[in-house]
Amino acid sequence: MQAIVSGNCPAKEAETKQIQRPGKKGFLSFYTKGEEIFNAVSHIVGGAMGLAFWVVLAILAYPDAMALTGVSLFGFGVVTLYTMSTLYHFLPDGRAKGVFRVFDHCTIYLLIAGTYSPFCLIALGGTTVGWVVFAIQWVCAVAGIIMNAIAMNNKVVKGISMALYFVEGWMALVLFPLLLETMSLAAIIFLLAGGIAYTGGIVFFALGRKLRWFHSIWHLFDIAGTALQFVSILLLLI
């Protein structure tokens, strides 16, 4: 396996080691032990938060089948993403960590499509536009998951993945005129604020392997984005 190190000091080498791909001995973390502990714990919190959100929204959505489906897809996406991320960051270096890194990236698509589902099925429920966007989101999610499962480290796949994240995430701008008619101003503000939090976090994600703790900061942006968009969905139901 090939490591990128800086300087001749062993401690410095251990601090800056970055392994680019799984090798014969398995996948090695891109991050320090301290970072990985923070990454795992932060997303344990995110997962617990997501489960609580799921329960609250399901109670409010019941017995409306359309609303219950929408919030359940949101809850499933949130809990699955944070669970896979926690396991990835918690596991020691090795093949299992490499496998869960793939799961971690794949579940980002579940989060995005799951977050859109309540807005498509509740705010735009019963409309052609709502169903079309719902279908596009889940087709993109399935395509993204398949691509990442097969060749996540491929440069082309990485580029397509980032493009899909951005396009899927900000498709709401196309729906903005319709959402203004069916959502309160407060719900729209929280929806946009969540999108801004997720998008702002991408900068820290992109630099996470080069600058210490940037990936951990990205986790905090993720949690903020999830919480803000939960409030938006909550406002759809009350």
Please enumerate, by residue number, every residue annotated as part of a binding site. Answer: 89, 215, 219
Backbone φ and ψ for 19, nearest 5 degrees, come out as -100, 130
Cα-based torsion angle of the residue sequence 217, 221, 226, 232 in order, rounded to the nearest 10 degrees: 160
Cβ contact 91:97 at 8 Å: yes
Binding residues for Zn(2+): 89, 215, 219
Q: Terminus-to-terminus CA distance in the chain, angstroms?
A: 54
Q: Classify burial at 5, counting beta carbons within 10 Å of its beta carbon; exposed 0-12, middle 13-18, buried 19 or more.
A: middle
DSSP state for residue 93 in the 8-state scheme:
S
